[in-house]
Amino acid sequence: MINIILADDHHIVRNGIRNLLEKEADINIAGEALTSEEALQMLGNTSADIILADMNMPGASGIELVEKLKAADNPVKMMLLTMHDHQHYINKAFQAGVSAYLIKSISPEELLFAVRLVHSGRKYLCTELSLRLLDQAISSPVTIDDDRVKVDFSERELAILTLIAEGNTNQEIADKLFTSKRTVEGHRQSMIDKAGVRNTPSLVRYAIRHGIIK
């Protein structure tokens, strides 16, 4: 059973959510509060898994409520239902420790899905906001650090890099260039450091992206 406390000072909104949730066999409305303070007091006498709260309530906000719960090491999970759809509020809420961020235009089906997902221990951002943030990420211009573009590799390094991209091992490269395996490994690491990447696959992607090799 999922025990939920509803915290919202708007009676119509709270009643609508209660009517939706209490129809579900696996959900129990453990209590209703008008403010964050009432919700905190209710936790002392009521067993609850989730608090579903409005962002803006008289007194402490929904984000301040989750901060208080976190400070008290209270394991109850917090879900915010709000009209605020700006990324600033989303970031602030998840940084504070909320488990779900939902806007009030969410469908009943998605609300129920979010409740069960959060109860299982996962986090959730409603679909509308997720798609909006995805669109923003896709449309944002990709910038490249000019300092990283201007990396100069020696002729020896370029020869080794080309052979790396072709799939040769360190030993195979050493044999083809008449050098030692250790020397090849040293050049490989030097190029990784110069390019500011983490590993060999990243080095190859970097070189192709910037036209160093084809």
State whether 92 and 156 are in the same domain.
Answer: no
pLDDT on residue 149? 53
Return the closest-CA partner of residue 188 out of 209, 175, 202.
202
Domain boundary (92, 113, 139) is at: 139
Return the closest-CA partner of residue 98 out of 128, 65, 72.
65
Enclosing domain of residue 106: 2-139
Complete DSSP assignment for 144-189 = --HHHH-----HHHHHHHHHHHTT--HHHHHHHHTS-HHHHHHHHH
* Angstrom distance (rounded) from CA 86 to CA 23: 32
State whether 46 and 126 are in the same domain.
Answer: yes
State whether 88 and 181 are in the same domain.
Answer: no
State whether 151 and 135 are in the same domain.
Answer: no
State whether 59 and 104 are in the same domain.
Answer: yes
* Angstrom distance (rounded) from CA 199 to CA 73: 39
**157 neighbors 181 (Cβ within 8 angstroms):** no
| Backbone dihedral angles phi then psi of residue 162, each to the nearest 5 degrees | -60, -45
CATH number of the domain encompassing residue 169? 1.10.10.10
| Backbone dihedral angles phi then psi of residue 141, each to the nearest 5 degrees | -65, 140
Tell whether 25 is covered by a domain.
Answer: yes
pLDDT on residue 137? 72
Tell whether 26 is covered by a domain.
Answer: yes
State whether 104 and 17 are in the same domain.
Answer: yes
pLDDT on residue 34? 94
pLDDT on residue 150? 58
State whether 10 and 106 are in the same domain.
Answer: yes
Q: Is 97 left (phi over 0), alpha (psi -120 to 50) or beta?
A: left
pLDDT on residue 214? 73
* Angstrom distance (rounded) from CA 12 to CA 14: 6
**CB-based burial label for 97 (10 Å; 0-12, 13-18, 19+):** middle
In the beta sheet, which residues pair with residue 3? 28
Tell whether 39 is covered by a domain.
Answer: yes
Return the closest-CA partner of residue 190 out of 160, 149, 167.
160
* Angstrom distance (rounded) from CA 98 to CA 125: 10
Positions of the chain with pLDDT lower than 70, given as ranges:
140-150
Domain boundary (139, 159, 182) is at: 139
**191 neighbors 153 (Cβ within 8 angstroms):** yes
* Angstrom distance (rounded) from CA 184 to CA 190: 10
Token pair, residue 144, equals: 């490249």
Domain boundary (139, 156, 177) is at: 139
